[in-house]
Amino acid sequence: MANKIESALSRLIEELRAAYGDNLVSIVLYGSVAAGDHIELRSDHNLLIVLKRITAHDLRLAQTTMLTWLSLKQPMPVFFTEEELERAADVFPIEFRQMERARKILHGRDPFEFVEISNANLRHQTEYELRTKLIQLRRLYLATSGENLSGLIRDSFASFAALFRAVLTLHGHEAPVSKAASVRATVNLLGLDGSPFEKIIQLRTKTTPALTEDEATDLFSTYMKQIERVIEAVDKLER
């Protein structure tokens, strides 16, 4: 399956080059696959496609190519114009910072060469995203039990790990690319209890036995408390 996706990615690049010609500025692979921090057959191939202009006709040119890509269970690429990419850094600082930190240029030039990301905007979005994801985690917990609780904890880890990179950046630290390293660095920086995160890392790599429902409930409780402490630390940065 991995070779099939790589082959499809090569075909996608060639088809986009043929369809867009001079209108195509860049094709960028970003995220865990670009960073080498991915789980084989589970991690998505996230793509950023930068064009000089984007009209309905331009989007239609890529429709067949995109449908083929989606059939492989890969996410729809993100489309930006060059101008949008430069002007949207104030509303997408986390996403752009992640793209900037872990990216591989598949075609064209580096689209982040002239993108400037403000720490003030980064702090605001980081707190917003952390609080939003914590609220969502609480809601999902109410509807989850048994073996599914371990899955909820494991699957939520990647989202929080990505936000922890932004926390490190806000504190003036170079954020590691890997999720586990970013979480461990945040634990050390803020003096958190790292034990729940280490258990989740083991769950994700399947190096630990499956949790009982009581064990998963205890893990969720300590996990949620440490996330609340991270939010408090980000909130204090504004003051």
Q: 3-class SS at 29?
A: strand
Helices (H), 179-212: 179-190, 195-205
Question: pLDDT tens digit string along 27-63?
Answer: 999 987 886 764 554 568 999 999 999 999 999 999 9
| Domain spans in the chain, listed from the N-terminal domain onward | 2-108, 119-238
**Mean pLDDT, residues 132-149:** 90
Return phi, psi of residue 10, to 5°. Answer: -60, -40
Mean residue pLDDT of the chain comes to 91
Flag the least confident range among 64-68, 101-105, 107-111.
Answer: 101-105
Question: pLDDT tens digit string along 169-220?
Answer: 999 998 888 889 999 999 999 999 999 999 999 998 887 788 888 999 999 9
CATH fold of 2-108: Beta Polymerase; domain 2 (3.30.460)
CATH code of domain 119-238: 1.20.120
pTM above 0.85, yes or no: no
DSSP assignments along 102-141, one per residue: SEEEEEES-TTTT----HHHHHHHHHHHHHHHHHHHHHHH
**Mean pLDDT, residues 4-8:** 89
Q: Where are the beta strands (DSSP E) in the chain?
A: 24-30, 46-51, 78-81, 103-108
CA-based end-to-end distance of the chain:
50
pLDDT recorded at residue 43: 62
